[in-house]
Structure 1
Amino acid sequence: MQGKRWLMATSAFRKAVESGDHAAIEELLAENVVFTSPVAFKPYPGRAITAAILRGVSRVFTDFRYVREIVGADGRDQALVFTAKVDGLEVNGCDFLHFDEDGLIDDLTVMVRPLSGANALSQAMGAQFDRIRAEAAAG
């Protein structure tokens, strides 16, 4: 029964990301979510900063689409494989989601490849980061 709840939450996250519904994305994040970036060494703890980072990503990615879902044995761990472009460079990536007991995302790790795409993402997100910090502080 729990596994079905986590599958529904993943589906809701996927739909919210694909439609650009940032309010819905934020509602699916646990207050204590930890976001691990593909281009930053230190994880970012908290809903406000994670939501702001995801809004920033939506501003730098174009042609974003999920192409595959992978579900762990108990359903709490899931991976959403995606393709996108950053400054015209194709990237492949994966959103690794972990769900808490309430069906909220408490851990979100993103990985991207190739290195040229990761470098482009790092530069594009670096240019966004003052705005991301301001959005996170505004709550």
Structure 2
Amino acid sequence: MTEYSDHLNLWLSGLEGGDKFKILNKILADDCVFYSPVMHTPQKGKQLTFLYLASAFTVLLKEGKFQYRRILEQGNDAVLEFETEIDGILINGVDMMTFNDDGQITEFKVMLRPMKALEKVKALMMAELEAMKSA
């Protein structure tokens, strides 16, 4: 079994049934920047990054098919390739993270493919973000 850094293990444990939102809040640095596959500008700050990632958790993990296929870690950087399926659409993506020396995420970048999957995830996440803002 591959061993990862403590901070990457914390991220992975949040996806495997831990308190996702508590772990997400703990692992994001205050100055975190989120790069979305659909937004043309970076989303800056812990609050915005939290909203986008919490929404992504709700959308991508909903059907229980999300899994990381490949994880590469070097120093404070990690690249995690994932797959999931929503409404019969196979989604392939990459999460790229940079951690600070305290083990918090300072940069989170997401890439998705194919276009049909990107469009589906965009629609679902926009609806989820609206629901979160209304709550």
Name the TM tier (shorter chain).
Answer: 0.7 to 0.9
Q: Structure 1 or 2: larger helix share? A: 1
**In the alignment, what sits opposite 1:33?**
32
**In the alignment, what sits opposite 1:121?**
121
Please give the per-residue CA displacement for 1:82-135, whole angstroms capped at 9, x wherever unaligned: 111233311011110101122210000011111110111111112122234457
Say if 1:17 and 1:25, in contact at 8 Å, map to a contact too: no
- Where relative contact order (Cα < 8 A, 6+ residues apart) is larger, the structure is 1
Q: Which ranges of 4 or more aligned residues in structure 1 deviate by more than 6 Å? A: none
Say if 1:53 and 1:132, in contact at 8 Å, map to a contact too: no
**Any gaps of 5 or more consecutive residues in structure 1?**
none
**In the alignment, what sits opposite 1:83?**
83
Alignment of 1:1-139 (within 5 A): 7-19=5-17, 21-61=20-60, 62=63, 63-72=65-74, 75-133=75-133
Q: What is the root-mean-square deviation of aligned Cα atoms in Å?
A: 1.9
How many equivalent pairs are there? 129
Q: Tell me whether 92-101 or 55-64 shows the greater mean CA deviation.
A: 55-64
Measured after TM superposition, the shift of residue 66 of structure 1 is 1.2
Against the structure 1 CA distance between its residues 119 and 33, is the aligned structure 2 distance closer, same or farther, given a 3 Å change threshold? same
**Any gaps of 5 or more consecutive residues in structure 2?**
none
TM-score normalised by L of structure 2 = 0.85
Measured after TM superposition, the shift of residue 26 of structure 1 is 1.6
Paired letter, 1:56: S
TM-score normalised by L of structure 1 = 0.83
Distance in 2, Cα, partners of 1:132 & 1:32 = 22
Distance in 1, Cα, partners of 2:11 & 2:127 = 26
Distance in 1, Cα, partners of 2:96 & 2:133 = 23
